[in-house]
Each structure stands twice: as C-alpha cells, then as structure tokens.
Structure 1
Amino acid sequence: MPSVPPPHLIAPREPPVLLAGAPFTAVELQAMAADGVVRRLIGQAYVPALAPEGPSLRARSLAALLPARVRVRAVAGRMTAAWIFGCAPAPELPVMLVASTHRISSLRSPERLLVHEVGFGPYDVLDIAGLQVTSPLRTALDVALHCEGTRAMPVLRRLLAQPGLGLTPRLVARALESLPRQPHKERARRLLERVAR
C-alpha cells in the first residue's frame, strides 16, 4: 500500500480554468456563470466562483487562452501584467510583448491580442504559473510610458501600494531616468511625480 506524504508536502490543488469545449460548452459555461457556479475571469476563461483570485490564477487563465507558440515567445505586459498583479481590470485585448529579435507575424492567434515588439533587460521578465509576465518594475515603467494618463494613474497607485511587489515611487522614477531616450519619457516623469504626491 503506497504511503501518504505528510500534509505539509502536498501541494495545494489549483482551481481549474474552464474553456468552452472541454468538458462544458460555451452556453453551459454562460449558464453556470448566471447561476453563480463559475465566473468569467478573462476572455472566455472561467473559474469556480469561490476560487481565490491571485496572480497565479489570472496568469493560468490568460495562458489557457493562448496558443503554445504565443505562450512560449510572448510576454504579458503593460495593463495585462498589471491585471495579473491585481492592479488593473481584466483587459478586453490582452497586451503581449515580443522581443525585437522575434517576428510578430509568426504569433497570429485566434484570440484577439495586441502585440508589440520591445527590448527586454535581464530582469524584466518573470514566470508566473508558466506564463511569462513583465516584472513589477518593468510593468510600472511600461504603464507610465505607454498608457494614457487617466488610465495609468490609478493603476500606478495600486502597483505602488500592492504588498509584495517591492515598488516605491523613487525606485520607479530612478528606473525611468536610467532609460535611454524614450518617447513619452517627460509625460511619464510628470505622471510619476503626481502619483508620488
């Protein structure tokens, strides 16, 4: 008879991410959501209604929607990364970033995505539940540089206030100043000054 490992060695079971087709149809999932059994997390990815939401579940939900070639070569970034960290609403169109050494055209996907070619530094990308995501610092910089001010401001405030992300206004401002010439850098600087106040 096999021995049972001690409880502290048993990994907690992750809540399932449900997509239409297996084992439920899209109509069944919508009916289950209406009944409060499941909830839609992003796109057509559903999770049990009582599943605790955190970065791992959000990352797994987005990853479930992406073809393998996108998951392997692209990085969730900008407002999508901020959502994974729990600091922004779920994006209608997830933003995926691709290293400028890859061809964007090879990442065609049946899912609707926004894909941008970017450069990455050695500490810009994390793995969260098997999905590549920009680090909290890179996410804050990208939100400040690439998102419109009224949308960026509350997200930056939440990123800076989120326990465990390790961000401070001074750290983000110093990282911004260390970047080479960058479009919208002055606008991002003003935005970070307003957030710090």
Structure 2
Amino acid sequence: MPDSLFPRGAGLGGPPVLTAGCPFSAVELQAMESDGVVRRILAQVYVPAAARATAQLRARALAQTLTPRVRERTVAGRMTAAWVLGCAPAPERPVMLVESTRRLARLGTGDRLLVHEVRFGDLDVVDIAGLRVTSGLRTAIDLALHSEERTALPVLRRLLDHPGLGLTPALVSAGLEAMPRQPHKERARRVLGCLGSPEGATPEGRPAGGPLERGPSC
C-alpha cells in the first residue's frame, strides 16, 4: 500500500484512523474497503487493512466517533471497554459511563451511544491512547453485574486469559464484594462462580451461543 494514499502525518502515534471526510468520502472509503486497502474497525471508522489491531488502535477508532465533550466527560465501559481490550466484538452502540455527579443532559449524545451513570473508584479508569476506559478489573465486574449471563461468560473468560490484565476469578469476586449497594449482585456472584466451568457452559448448564459470544479472543 503506497504511503501517499494517506495524508501526511495521519499515521502519527500509530496507523491512520479514517472517517468520512478525513480525507476520503464515505463512498471512497467503501470502495477502498472493497479493494482490500482498508477495513472497517468500528461503525464508519476504517484503518489500513494490514494494521495490527491493538487496544490503542481500537481506542483511537472509538474516540473518532465521539464529540470532544463526550470524550472529556465519559469513560468507555462494559462491553465497549471489553472490545477496546480485545475481548469482545465491536459494539453497535458504544456504552459510555459518566460519573453520577455529572449531568447527562448536557452531553448531547443523541441516540448513537448508551450512557449510564455510575460511581468510579480511584483505580477504575485507565487511559488508552487518550481515551478513558474502565480498567480490566472494573470491566469484568461490570460485565458480571450488567450483562446477560450467556453474553458475559465468554467475554469474562477472555478477560481472564488476557496476559496483560492479571485478572483471576478470585480477584474479580473480591472486587465485586467491595462494591456496596449494587443491584444484581447475587446474579453476578453466580456468573463469576461459573468461570471455572467448562468453556461454553452457562449458569444453567446449557451450551453458550449467539453472535456476541463469537468475538475475537485476546
């Protein structure tokens, strides 16, 4: 792929992340995708076809879909954070978390995002390529609490297998117990208790299935 295809400086900090109008139109990007020059990484965000998918690249791609105000005030969380970490499929509607002391109405997110009010601890948020994302531990706890069991288990297993996160079932369980007044806590305990069961089993003992459970492994 010739270097002249992308604007000068587009690759600073990593491979270029392209959206319609920066500098190619949506039609041009779709044609380039058909030709195998670029690939879609998230929504209408493209990267060079040969670019290695990393947490940094996914974070930069997600940041391209957010307004500066949303980037400043929210944190990528739940399945969206798991995607940034490489353990879940790309989200159709990114989940962004906002500290409960802030006002959601002022964010102006429209219907492109799912935004939830939460409380963060001191170690719950990390910076990845300039995007705030929930830590691996907080992400795992949130998935156990808020995601449907059959969807959460395969992603939780990938998070536990991720060599850079240092997670164990005991650590995630301890983090869950340290969070006070959480709804669905008993269900989350049940989900975490299944992490030692054979791959693909659900809390009810049924084989797991469905498109969300076939995402990329870490």
TM-score (norm 2): 0.83
Q: What do you get for the CA RMSD once the two structures are aligned?
A: 1.2
Q: Percent identity?
A: 66
**Alpha-carbon contact 1:137-1:167 (below 8 Å) kept:** yes
Q: Which residue matches 2:93?
A: 93
Residue-by-residue CA offset, 1:44-98 (whole Å, 9 max, x unaligned):
1100000000100000000011100000000000000000000000000000000
Conserved in 2, the CA contact under 8 Å of 1:16 and 1:47? yes
For 1:141-180, what aligned pairs fall within 5 Å after superposition? 141-180=141-180
CA distance in 1, matches of 2:71, 2:193: 35
The reply to whether residue 112 of structure 1 matches residue 119 of structure 2 is no
Between 1:13-22 and 1:136-145, the stretch displaced more is 13-22
Could you tell me which residue of structure 2 aligns to residue 84 of structure 1?
84
Whole-angstrom distance in 2 between the partners of 1:22 and 1:96: 24
Aligned ranges for residues 1-197 of structure 1 at < 5 Å? 13-109=13-109, 112-197=112-197
Alpha-carbon distance between aligned partners in 2 of 1:193 and 1:64, rounded to the nearest angstrom: 37
**2: CA distance, partners of 1:111 / 1:146:** 20
Decide whether the 8 Å contact of 1:65 with 1:111 is kept in 2.
no
Structure 2: distance between partners of 1:178 and 1:23 = 47
How much has 1:196 moved relative to structure 2? 2.5
Relative to structure 2, which stretch is displaced further, 118-127 or 171-180? 171-180
Say which SS state the counterpart of residue 19 (structure 1) adopts. Answer: coil
For these two proteins, the number of residue pairs brought into alignment is: 186
Separation of aligned partners in 2, 1:25 and 1:76? 27
Partner of 2:204: none
Deviation at 1:43, TM superposition (A): 1.2
Letter of the structure 2 residue corresponding to residue 18 of structure 1: L
What residue ranges of structure 1 are gaps of 5+ in the alignment?
Answer: 1-11
> Structure 1 residue 109: deviation in Å?
3.0
Could you tell me how far apart the structure 2 residues matched to 1:74 and 1:154 are?
Answer: 26
Q: Write the distance in 2 (CA, Å) between the matches of 1:150 and 1:160.
A: 16
Q: Partner of 2:122: helix, strand, or coil?
A: coil
Deviation at 1:150, TM superposition (A): 0.7
- Secondary structure of 1:133's match? strand
Which SS does the other structure have where 2:144 is aligned?
A: helix
CA contact (8 A) 1:98 1:118 kept: yes
